A and B are shown apart, each in its own frame.
Chain A
Amino acid sequence: MNLFENVMLLFQDGGWKMIVMWIIGGLLIFLAIKKEMEPTLLLPMGFGAILVNLPESGAKEVIDHLFEIGINSHELFPLILFIGIGAMIDFEPLLTNPKLMIFGAAAQFGIFFTLSMASLFGFETNDAASIAIIGAADGPTSIFVANMLNSKYTAAIMVAAYSYMALVPLVQPPIIKLCTTKKERRIKMQYTGKKVSKLTKILFPIIVTVIVGLVAPDAVALIGFLMFGNLIRECGVLNSLSETAQKVLANLITIFLGITIASKMTANEFLRFETILIMALGLIAFVFDTFGGIMIAKLMNLFLPKDKKINPMIGAAGISAFPMSARVVHKLGLEEDNSNFLLMHSIGVNVSGQIASVIAGGLILSFFA
């Protein structure tokens, strides 16, 4: 066999596309290392994109197999990762002030809005719904839904979801500033810091699983694994398991998740006009999520007494992207008034966004799966 046969393949029909994919892979690695944008996912995806786009790549079969067992059959990787995420989340700020969940729900507006926009642009319903779920701002949920709906554009959806999550500190502030007045951004909110009973913390994951399971049975795996992780954390007798789920388990799955998604990043599937369109629709989803959260806060303010007004910026933290969007809101609060601490409120809204995004994913699945 000619030693340079493979090299020559690069100069034949479509060979240039592979080189473009190497550049995209390199760009993802650059963003991960230099800009520290979601490095845990973007770096493996970037490397994987190079790996599967070598002519006659022998790695493609292995990665395809990983995709088959880890994602395609029962969405195993995203679900296991959710145990780890559940173990990482402290729902206390939300439990002390449960009405914060309203913002989490409102900040899923972008998902449904993007569903309409993607349909308008001619995507088939299963693809439109998968693209819309980029607005869940939550990687595992996006992977879960896109795969369950058998979308052709899984890779583009993943890249868009993770890139925008990393770009939350850039995407959200201009939208927040556009939707709020200086006066609104200066509103201070009292944090009562009430204690929540251990019983509440233990019952919460169980009850939420049952409620969501009854309403959106297709999403019960997602919410169930998330809440299972949280129950391990809160039960108080499984500390070492909780620690393993948060660190070892989550890290282990993350290592495989990125490179596995790369199996869908072959030049033929990725270098398409639709990829650009999906990126644009993903941005729309993030923008309208932020918009939805802020607007519901402004609406509630109309009915609240003067001393109990809500700083509408915390609504923006309702997009899942945990904990970046909570930090963004806190930072913007401090920018306007350096004694305005919004972190506990925005964290509460942020974790409620995590739950709401899974519910939204479940509803989308119940409509289209």
Chain B
Amino acid sequence: MKKLLMIISLVAVLSLMLSLAAFAQGNKATVTFDSDGGSAVDPITVDKNSKLTQPQAPTKLGFDFAGWYVLRGEDVELQEALKKAEKDGEQLSEKDLAALKAVDENDEEWSFVGYVVTEDMTLVAKWVPNDEMPPMEFKINGGNFLISLGYMGKGLIGIFVVTLVIIGVVATLNWHGRSLEKRNQNKE
């Protein structure tokens, strides 16, 4: 009997602890940060209905950080631009993409002062292009060199061919001019 009571109380304590843990867990929410190509930002776990402390802003070369956003919109302009680029066989540059994402009015900037976290969520970084340029990848590129040598040959042949055509035309014009002159002289 004593044994049974012990087992029952052990089970009761364990289930109490487990439900307490589950309750505590249910009271927390994890916020993950998607820096969209910028430096990584660690996720933060907070009590539900509490405010979020602003993490250190991520950085991305060539862009200024424009805040953390909750994505809600359909990115209509972005989708249209992507479709148009695909139709024209072009590729949108990283800067154009960022600029288009940054102007989507449906997205909502997260206010670290006013808003509270109610559930797990992801905040996405927005970026505004600036005029900083990423550094050139500096390497000796033998492959490109060989391709350029091909263009060098094509270019030199092209320029000489055009030049010879022009020389031919001018020489013909000169010859024509001289023969006209001679004819006039003969007439006189």
Interface of A toward B, CB cutoff 8 Å? 94-96, 98-99, 101-102, 104-105, 108-109, 111-113, 115-116, 118-123, 125, 128, 152, 194, 196-197, 199-200, 203-204, 207-208, 211-212, 215-216, 266, 268-269, 272-274, 355-356, 359-360, 363-364, 367
B177 touches A196 (CB 8 A): yes
Pick from B48-56, B77-85, B133-141 the stretch touching chain A. Answer: B133-141
Report which residue of A98, A194, A204 has the largest number of chain B beta carbons within 10 angstroms of its beta carbon: A98
B174 touches A196 (CB 8 A): yes
Of all chain A residues, which has the CB nearest B158? A363
Is B23 part of the binding interface, using a Cβ–Cβ cutoff of 8 Å?
A: no
A215 touches B170 (CB 8 A): no
A sample of 13 more A-B contacts (CB under 8 A), given A115-B151, A116-B151, A356-B159, is A102-B160, A104-B163, A105-B162, A109-B156, A116-B145, A116-B149, A116-B152, A118-B148, A120-B142, A125-B144, A200-B174, A356-B163, A359-B158
Chain B residues with CB under 8 A of A111: 155
Of all chain A residues, which has the CB nearest B170? A98
* Bound CA span A123–B144, Å: 9
B180 touches A197 (CB 8 A): yes
* Bound CA span A258–B180, Å: 48
B163 touches A95 (CB 8 A): no
Is B166 part of the binding interface, using a Cβ–Cβ cutoff of 8 Å?
A: yes
* Bound CA span A102–B135, Å: 40
Chain B residues with CB under 8 A of A116: 145, 148-149, 151-152
Q: Nearest Cβ distance between residue B41 and chain A, in whole angstroms? A: 21
| Contact A215-B158, Cβ < 8 Å, known A120-B144, A122-B137 | yes
* Bound CA span A116–B149, Å: 6
Chain B residues with CB under 8 A of A207: 166, 169
Is B154 part of the binding interface, using a Cβ–Cβ cutoff of 8 Å?
A: yes
Chain B residues with CB under 8 A of A120: 140-142, 144-145, 148
Chain A residues with CB under 8 A of B149: 116
B162 touches A211 (CB 8 A): yes
Of all chain A residues, which has the CB nearest B156? A112
B154 touches A367 (CB 8 A): yes
A105 touches B163 (CB 8 A): yes
Is B70 part of the binding interface, using a Cβ–Cβ cutoff of 8 Å?
A: no
CB < 8 Å neighbour of A268 from B131, B142, B165, B180 = B131
Q: Nearest Cβ distance between residue B108 and chain A, in whole angstroms? A: 30
Q: Nearest Cβ distance between residue B115 and chain A, in whole angstroms? A: 30
Chain B residues with CB under 8 A of A363: 154-155, 158-159
Is B147 part of the binding interface, using a Cβ–Cβ cutoff of 8 Å?
A: yes
Is B132 part of the binding interface, using a Cβ–Cβ cutoff of 8 Å?
A: yes
B173 touches A152 (CB 8 A): no
Report which residue of A99, A272, A356, A363 has the largest number of chain B beta carbons within 10 angstroms of its beta carbon: A363
A122 touches B139 (CB 8 A): yes
A98 touches B159 (CB 8 A): no
A121 touches B138 (CB 8 A): yes
Chain A residues with CB under 8 A of B66: none
Q: Nearest Cβ distance between residue B146 and chain A, in whole angstroms? A: 9
Identify 14 residue pairs between A and B in the complex whose beta-carbon atoms are under 8 Å apart, listed by A's number: A98-B171, A102-B163, A104-B163, A108-B155, A120-B141, A120-B142, A120-B148, A199-B173, A199-B176, A211-B162, A211-B165, A216-B162, A269-B131, A367-B155
B177 touches A112 (CB 8 A): no
Chain A residues with CB under 8 A of B155: 108, 111-112, 115, 360, 363-364, 367
B159 touches A266 (CB 8 A): no
Is B17 part of the binding interface, using a Cβ–Cβ cutoff of 8 Å?
A: no
B136 touches A123 (CB 8 A): yes
Chain A residues with CB under 8 A of B130: 268
A108 touches B165 (CB 8 A): no
| Contact A200-B173, Cβ < 8 Å, known A119-B148, A356-B159 | yes
* Bound CA span A216–B180, Å: 34
Chain B residues with CB under 8 A of A359: 158-159, 162-163
Chain B residues with CB under 8 A of A215: 158, 161-162
Chain B residues with CB under 8 A of A101: 163, 166-167
A121 touches B140 (CB 8 A): yes
* Bound CA span A119–B144, Å: 5
| Contact A119-B160, Cβ < 8 Å, known A99-B167, A112-B152 | no
A152 touches B133 (CB 8 A): yes
B131 touches A203 (CB 8 A): no
Q: Nearest Cβ distance between residue A315 and chain B, in whole angstroms? A: 14
B133 touches A268 (CB 8 A): yes
CB < 8 Å neighbour of B151 from A95, A112, A199, A203 = A112
Chain B residues with CB under 8 A of A99: 167
| Contact A122-B166, Cβ < 8 Å, known A116-B149, A367-B151 | no
B167 touches A98 (CB 8 A): yes
A200 touches B170 (CB 8 A): yes
Of all chain B residues, which has the CB nearest A108? B159
